[in-house]
Amino acid sequence: MTRQQTLGKFFEMPKGVKGPPPQQSKLEEMWGKKKKPVEAAPKKDIMKKEDKRDTDEVQPSKSENVGSKRKQSPEQPTEPAKTQKLKKRRVVDSDEEEEDEPTAGPSTRDAQPEASTSSSSPPAPPSKEEKRRQEKRVPIPQGRSFASKKREAPPPSSSPPATDIDEAESEVAETEPEEEDPDDEGESEIEEDEAAASTNVEAAMDKTKLVDLKEGWKEGTPVPYAALAQAFTFIEATTKRIEKTALLTALFLLVIRRSGEGDTQSLLQTVYLCINRLCPDYMGIELGIGESLLVKAIGESTGRNLSTIKSELKKEGDLGLVAMNSKNSQKTLFKPKPLTVPFVFTNLKEIAMSSGHSSQNKKVSIITKLLAACQGSEAKYIVRSLEGKLRIGNAERTVLVALAHAVVLAEQEKANKRLSKERLTTKLEEASATIKAVYSELPTYDIVVPALLESGIDQLRERCKLTPGVPLKPMLAKPTKAIGEVLDRFEGKKFTCEYKYDGERAQVHRLDDGTVGVFSRNSEDMSKKYPDLMEQLPHCIKDNTKSFVVDAEAVAIDRTTGKLMPFQELSRRKRKDVKVEDIQVRVCLFAFDLLYLNGEPLLHKSLTERRELLREHFQPVEGEFDFAKASDGETTEEIQAFLEESVKDGCEGLMVKMLDSDASYYEPSRRSVNWLKLKKDYLAGVGDSLDLVVVGAYYGKGKRTNVYGAFLLACYDADGEEYQTICKIGTGFSEEALQSHYDALKPLEMTKPRGDIKIGGAKPEVWFEPKVVWEVLTADLSLSPIYTAAQGLADERGISLRFPRFIRIRDDKSADDATGPEQIAEMYERQVLAQSKGGKKGKGGDADDGFW
């Protein structure tokens, strides 16, 4: 018999069995020396060991395979009820909490179990050393134990020493590969929220001391900008989403605690500065000050000459760091008055709204005034805010979750109640789900934040509903490569096929007072771009229609022939100061969904009902307004014929949508599997085009000597706030196109890449400010050691495009709207799955994605 699993379990040896020889050196290793804490192990290993340990405890037969290192006692019977195989849960690395964070209470593993009735003889009492070892045991943080929730807690005395676990579990991990459960992907988002909620309570309370200033600030006084800068520094220093959430929760909680009675502006302005915005998207007030203007302002406020600042910028690659270093090296006679959040917010808004011939000097003057009052790291974040990128990896969904958690904790403090951990965790999860749902329908903090503070999280759905005039993020479709995939997805369910028009997404709003607005998929107000649409709309609205929100596509049309024209024709229209009499490219609006009607949101009605209401309250007008052409065919032949007809009519392909049940509800800001797109290009290609940002270029040779010959493209990671290189594209351009691209990109040239471009091994000769978005089609996706797109998602290497082909410039998209790494990883995994012809299912194949 080899070294026992635990000593206390086997003090009474069976008769006739000789005990093992003494192994004092190992005892000294376990008890004599100071043990390494559990958290010192790598995060992935900790999660794997916990899951494995649970499996081993309920499946003794598996642990016997480990060999002599962990052999089960013959006297220990197996309980049949526990032999059922447990499903493993996948845990995202970035969602694990920091190792040194305090626990939220005792772990479920430390709970005292009921007396076992299956043992043939009672165990001997533990020795003094055994007791001491149990007392010193480090509890596993709550955020890591959620995967084993609802399982019976194992007896403490049955846990093997830490050294045994390390050796045995690694061997089990090697010999027994885990089988993936297809249901895991659907649960991952719930598990992440559960983990965030369960760990965030104690962590946020602890982080308030970290985020708070040494001297704090008095209740009812403005929030110091130094508190934000300090929080940003901690957020920038970690990659873990749960820790970012805890830091933001702590910051928001402090602001709520110290805001005066009826003060909603302090929290509102703090939230806006955390996401680097000044107002809702549809208002169109944006920061994004040019580099030369900022360099000039830094020089004026610090007294340094411009050439020194520029040379330091080349070295650092981050103007925010340059500003902070310049400011901190400056000697001042007196300490400036501390910056406050209202002061910074007001001045940033004034800068963004400045226009006219003298606006440049006015902007420099305001920026100089702000920088002169900066202390510590404040200058870094002021300048980054002005550039339009904070670069702290702060996704908006993290801000929303933190806001929900902070309000719940503040409500609990105000009511002077202490909920149990389980109830509080549940309440935090519900609050996160509520604020996400509400914000997707009404994406404006101007309404959501005051409603939260005044009515609380429980009344938020009543206070904040879909409202005409506030555009919501549109529902998007998943790409599919074959009609067979469509039939598999919608098997046994009612669905419809609609033309996928080659135009620009348009969300049309009409308020009760008759005001009409048209918004793009990015919530940009396009009313001035489409004055002809504004004139046409009254003709198609029936008398019984007072207010509405319609989802539609604006398509270029030849009025004489009635033929639809491609998107390139639409992109030729002017974007500003458009006069109806000057318009040469006319548009027709094709409506395909109705989201709001006469005071009632329709998001939770089936598509069948929404489509009937759309046809009842609107009427077609030739060449101006029509309903999207649809067919309810269910066979491969019918869909194929309709697809060919759509292509013949000048469309991109088909949109296939669920008609009935809650699967047909409209889901704002989500790319859903309940809508599938089937383009003509998809049938033989990779499955979807990509919208990529031009970040670099290579000089041409031969005929291309005076222009760029090839370009470096990148996708955009919204969570990390960074651009990830994906491919070099240089074929398929005409000489005219190359000259046009050169003229457009030349003003964006930079001597050094921006700090938010994750370069990898790419070495372009010229770098660009990331602004121009191209739509690109590719024949294939492959793993690459050079490019960084989706690195760590599908493989440790990045993903690149093989034989990329330029399709068009996406004027309707900003760089932040480019394709994300998650979608690229999913496309790659779908491709691998298709090539393996029925092999193991890749992760995320059918999961919804989008804003959340």
Can you tell me the distance from the alpha carbon of 806 to that of 802, in angstroms, rounded to the nearest whole number?
Answer: 12
Q: What is the DSSP letter of 32?
A: I
Can you tell me the distance from the alpha carbon of 692 to that of 777, in angstroms, rounded to the nearest whole number?
Answer: 10
Q: 683 with 481: CB under 8 angstroms?
A: yes
Which helix (H) or strand (E) element contains residue 776? strand 773-777
Angle, vertex CA 209, rays to CA 204 and CA 211, nearest 5: 80
Phi first, then psi, for residue 718 (nearest 5°) are -65, -35
Q: Is 240 one of the annotated active-site residues of the chain? A: no
From the CB of residue 361, how many other CB atoms can be counted at a distance below 10 Å? Answer: 12
3 state SS for 371-405: HHCCCCCHHHHHHHHHHCCCCCCCCHHHHHHHHHH
- Which is it for strands 625-627 and 586-597: parallel, antiparallel or unpaired? parallel
The one catalytic residue in 327, 380, 473, 500 is 500
Q: 824 with 789: CB under 8 angstroms?
A: yes
Q: 520 with 504: CB under 8 angstroms?
A: yes
SS3 label, residue 144: helix
Which helix (H) or strand (E) element contains residue 742? helix 735-745
Can you tell me the distance from the alpha carbon of 67 to that of 65, in angstroms, rounded to the nearest whole number?
Answer: 5
SS3 label, residue 433: helix
Can you tell me the distance from the alpha carbon of 356 to that of 87, in angstroms, rounded to the nearest whole number?
Answer: 63
Q: For the chain, how many helices (H) and strands (E)?
A: 27, 22
Residue that is written with structure tokens 């998107």 in the block: 567
Residue that is written with structure tokens 């060999």 in the block: 67
Q: 679 with 753: CB under 8 angstroms?
A: no
From the CB of residue 423, how many other CB atoms can be counted at a distance below 10 Å? Answer: 10
Can you tell me the distance from the alpha carbon of 125 to that of 450, in angstroms, rounded to the nearest whole number?
Answer: 60
CA distances from 710 to 613, 696, 800 (A): 50, 9, 16
Q: What is the DSSP letter of 196?
A: H
What are 190's two structure tokens? 């719930």
Q: What is the distance, to the nearest Å, from the Cα of residue 111 to the centroid of all Cα atoms in its chain? A: 36
- Closest among 261, 184, 251, 263 to 224, alpha carbons compared: 251
Residue that is written with structure tokens 């292509």 in the block: 647
Residue by residue, DSSP assigns 703-716 as: GGTTSEEEEEEEEE
Across 354-503, the runs of DSSP E, i.e. the strands, are 476-479, 495-500
Can you tell me the distance from the alpha carbon of 465 to that of 449, in angstroms, rounded to the nearest whole number?
Answer: 14
Active-site annotation, residues: 500
